[in-house]
Structure 1
Amino acid sequence: MSTNLTPGQHALLESELRLARQRLQAALQAEREGSDRLAHAAALVEADPRELREHEADRELDQARDEHLLAELQEIDDALMRLKLPTYGRCIDCGAAIPFDRLQRQPQALRCLDCQTAAEAAR
């Protein structure tokens, strides 16, 4: 069962996914460079317990941001792999075609809006 995407729509979605991937990689690189600077600054700070706690909190926040960016990057990579399959753009729950406007806003979408709403309500 293939989707109703035209070759032009398919190409547009691939381009959007690749651009999103580049933006995420740049954000992750910037985040890691910022973390490196914080780690270096922490090494230079005297052993003031308050400052050390602040640096530890900053490191935890950086790690959480890294994990979020990595998860988003994985979603994009998964979508790029699915894009090669004839079932890309089909809801994984009901099999209905995901509308192009939804895919254009979120090309990594796995579900149609109804199934996504139901999945979120079930959480």
Structure 2
Amino acid sequence: MSTALTPGQHALLEAELLLSRQRVQQALQAQLGDSDRVGHAAALREADGCDWPEHEADRELDQVRGEHLLAELGQIDDALMRLKRPGYGRCIDCAAAIPFDRLQHRPQALRCVACQTRSESAP
């Protein structure tokens, strides 16, 4: 199995990562817009003296979504940096080449399927 990406494969993965980065950034911007509206509603609620516990749950859910999007953005940025260096597409555990099909579906993958499965099943 070839360990080096062809120039076409490299370009395809880079384009996919850049598109994913743009999608996540847009989702974060939308999330921030929603947070502003939630904050405004909370300020109005406090001014009215109302206590709506369900809004607290909404804020917590928004926070979790935001944290997830930030983590995803970090993974994409890391993958873009690794793509510029030799060794991209090699498993960080066993150093085997990660199949292009896997990279195409998840360009930020750090492990081959076998090592990822072991990693997820480890206590």
TM-score range, shorter chain: over 0.9
- Structure 2's unaligned 5+ residue stretches are none
How far apart are 1:56 and its partner, in Å? 1.8
Q: Percent of aligned pairs with the same residue?
A: 72
TM-score normalised by structure 1 residue count: 0.93
* In structure 2, C-alpha distance between the alignment counterparts of 1:99 and 1:116, rounded to whole Å: 13
CA–CA distance in structure 1, aligned partners of residues 41 and 119 of structure 2? 44
Q: How many residues align?
A: 120
Q: Give the superposed CA RMSD.
A: 1.2
By how many angstroms is 1:89 displaced? 0.1
Partner of 2:39: 39
**Superposed counterparts of 1:1-123, under 5 Å:** 3-45=3-45, 46-49=48-51, 51=52, 53-123=53-123
Report the alpha carbon displacement of residue 120 of structure 1 after superposing the two structures with TM. Answer: 0.6
Contiguous gaps of at least 5 residues in structure 1: none
1:109 Cα deviation from its structure 2 partner: 0.2
How far apart are the structure 1 equivalents of 2:49 and 2:106?
46
CA–CA separation in structure 1 for the residues paired with 2:101 and 2:49:
54
- Determine the C-alpha separation between the residues in 1 that align with 2:114 and 2:4: 19
How far apart, in 2, do the equivalents of 1:114 and 1:71 lie? 23
Q: Secondary structure at the match of 1:117?
A: helix
8 A contact 1:3–1:86 mirrored in 2: no
Q: What is the TM-score when the length of structure 2 is the normalising length?
A: 0.93
Whether the aligned pair in 2 keeps the contact of 1:35 and 1:62 (CA below 8 Å) is: yes
The structure 1 segments of at least 4 consecutive aligned residues displaced by more than 2 Å after TM superposition are none
